[in-house]
Structure formats: C-alpha cells, structure tokens
Amino acid sequence: MVKNTSINTLVVSSYNGDQHNASVAPLYQTTTFKQNSLTDMGEYDYTRSGNPTRTLLEQKLAKIMKAEKAYAVTSGMGCLDVITRLLGPGDEVIAGDDLYGGTHRLLTFMHKKGAIKLKHIDTTNTEVVKKTLTKNTKMIFLESPTNPLIKVVDLPAISKFIRANYPNCLIVFDNTMMTPLLISPLDYCDIQYESATKYLNGHHDIMAGVIAARDPKIIQDLYFVINATGCGLAPFDCWLLLRGLKTLSIRFERQQQNALKLAEWLEKIGFKVRFPGLKSHPQYALHKSFNKGFGAVLSFETGSIKQSEAICEGTAIFGVTVSFGCVNSLISMPCKMSHASIDAKTRAERALPEDLIRLCVGIEDIDDLVQDLEQSLVNSGAVKKVGNQLIRQYTSKL
Ligand SMILES: *Cc1c(COP(=O)(O)O)cnc(C)c1O
C-alpha cells in the first residue's frame, strides 16, 4: 500500500477481496443470505440491512470522502430525508435561501407541517449566518457554490464560528457541485452528502446519493434510519456506481477544462457569465481559498427570454436536459425547467434571471462544443458573425 494514496488513484482502485480474485467487484444480486445456523446470522442476512456489493462501494466512498463511514442510498434527496430524521419535533433549522430546489421543497414541507422550525437566509453573507444562529439551532444546511446562480458560501469561516460558539449545531453540507476531488467538506462539517446521480456516477444511468460522517454517534444514527426505512442503494446500482467512480477523476478533469474555456469564450463575446473560475466572479478568491477547482456548471444571461429559448433549442451536441454531471454536455433554462417549481415571485426575489441559460459541460472535444454553441448563438440572433468575429447583439426586450 502506497502511503497517502492520491484520490486519483483511490477512485480507480479495484480492490474487492473476492474469494476468486475477480478483477471487478462481484455483484451480489440477492436479498437474503443463508445462515450458518439458526443463531449464527453471519455478516449479512438481508440486503436492506447490508449487502457485500454495497459494502465495497461504501468503503471506497469513505476513503475518497475522508470519512469514517459513508452510506449509499437511493438518491440525493434520499440523503436529505435520512439526515432530517435525526431532528426532533420543532427543532430549529437554518438553510441557505439558494439551495437545490428539491432541498428547499422537502425542508419547507417539514416546516409547514410543524416538524421543524425553518429559517431560510442568505448564507453567502457570513454575518447574517452568525446573527441567525441561536443556542437552539440544531442543524444548518449549506451548499457551495449554488446552482444556477453560482453563489459561494464561506464554509471555513461559518464552520469555525459554529464550532467555537454553537457546538451542538450540526453542519450539513451538500457537496454535489464540487465532488470529493475538489474539497473534503468533513474538515468543516458534520455530515456531508452528495447526489451521486451527478458527477460520482457520471453517466445518467442511475439515481443515487451518498452520506458521509466521522462522528460515531452520527454514523450509528444514520445507519439506523437507512436500515429502518430501507433506502439503501440496490446492489446493481451500487455495482454501476462502483464502475462510474473509476473514471470520476479523469472525467471531471476534462469537464472542468471544457467549462473554463466555454466560460471565458462566452465572457469574451460579451455575455454576463457566472462561473467561479472566472476572475470576474465576485467570490473568485473565496471559492479558490477552499476548493481545488471550479466544477463544470456555468450560467449566462442573454437579455432576452426568446433568444435564450432559441439558443437552447438550437444546439446539436448540448442536449436540453435537467440535472448535470453526465459525460454529455447539457443545456437548460432553469426558470423553465429545474427551478420552475419555485414560483415566479420567489424567483424574482432571489434575482434568478428568467433568461438565464445553464450549461453543464461534458467531456466532448472543446472545439466541437464551441462550434455547436456558436452556430446556435448566431442562429438565435444573440450574436452576429462578421468574418471571424463574433459580435454580441444587444436587445432590451425580455
Ligand atoms: C441533484 C441534486 C440533489 C438531489 O439529488 P437527486 O439524486 O436528484 O435526488 C441535491 N443537491 C444538489 C446540489 C443537486 O444538484
């Protein structure tokens, strides 16, 4: 064993301890395991409680997430369901006001039922977070950078403040956008979760979520809920996720390179682009101070809803699709798609531009991606091509 093995190597590792030395982890497609005797259940008895393929996946995840323990469940939202079950009736909870739409939906649902007392605040403003916390705050939900507005939360500063002043408040961090390659959130939070539907699996062929922690009591409580509710990831999906993980590092490296190039190219044409890797991003330095990269999701505004629609529908390589993290490049209009469940008034309050286009960049050849976007920008009328030059056409009409 090489000491301090890099995460790039850990993700590829095919260790599985198989009795026949299989090169690839075996798939235990079984719900039950025969017992040695009526009283000796052995390590596994029933797949809701545990399955060897799931164990292999969770061991690998724990290593790359620098966790004591990681759990694989049926979706990113499944993670949130498990985590919120650690709360008691009426517990005080703080959440960012720009969290993933599904997170907002579940937390608000619980709040309306009286299950929790929820405060949505601007967590990108650390002073607001400090003022909102009280002795009774049981959990805080953070996400950085947010999507599609790409707002950065000062996780290290918030974590330091909470640990010094409110040690009973659990910090929960959704790391779907950055993956364990760019940050080890457990250095700052108590519970980390990610939608593995996105980058971790990378191929948009399974739904999955992963939860990780270091504290033994939290680990035990999370396992209790997963076993009790039966949301552990199915063996075949665990097997697919193990396969997907092997290329995480190389996929994400190319996706990030492509995303940065596209962000710079769009900005040069004259669009307002949101991407934490652009020096023009107001929180570029903050993001860089605790992340090793910038991810592969960016958004830009055209100034015209009609043009934005035409751009999305006019691409050939970029598919009009919700979600992100796939090897294929995707394009969407959040206000019409992923964020349509947030009503127009709230979208306006959060300054979510109706003409915003989100790009989730894949691993294709960058020249092809540029060419695809270029023809769509020109056909939509947002850009005019004169010789080799792309000239932005401004329109004041939304
Ligand atoms: C997609 C997503 C989720 C939800 O994950 P699912 O696997 O779709 O349930 C949670 N948080 C973020 C940031 C996401 O992008």
pLDDT in tens, 153-168: 999 999 999 999 999 9
- Ligand 1 centre and the CA of 88: distance in Å? 24
By residue count, the chain amounts to 398
Bridging pattern class, strands 297-301 and 272-274: antiparallel
Taking the C-alpha atoms of residue 132 and residue 224, their distance in angstroms, rounded to an integer, is 31
Cα angle value 28/33/35 (rounded, 5°): 150
Tokens in use for 376? 């769509």
Residue nearest to atom 11 of ligand 1 (CA): 100
Residues 6+ apart with CB under 8 A from 261: 366, 370
- What is the pTM for the complete model shown? 0.96
Q: Domain coordinates of the chain in residue numbers? A: 7-245, 249-392
CATH of domain 249-392: 3.90.1150.10
Taking the C-alpha atoms of residue 222 and residue 35, their distance in angstroms, rounded to an integer, is 26
pLDDT greater than 70 at residue 397 = no
* Substitution site in 79, 193, 198, 205 for ligand 1 pocket (most atoms within 8 Å of beta carbon): 198
Residues 6+ apart with CB under 8 A from 192: 65, 67, 172, 173, 175, 185, 186, 211, 212, 213
pLDDT in tens, 54-97: 999 999 999 999 999 999 999 999 999 999 999 999 999 999 99
CATH of domain 7-245: 3.40.640.10
Neighbours of 24 (CB within 10 A): 12
pLDDT tier at 274, thresholds 50, 70, 90: very high
Q: Which atom of ligand 1 is nearest to the CA of 198?
A: 1
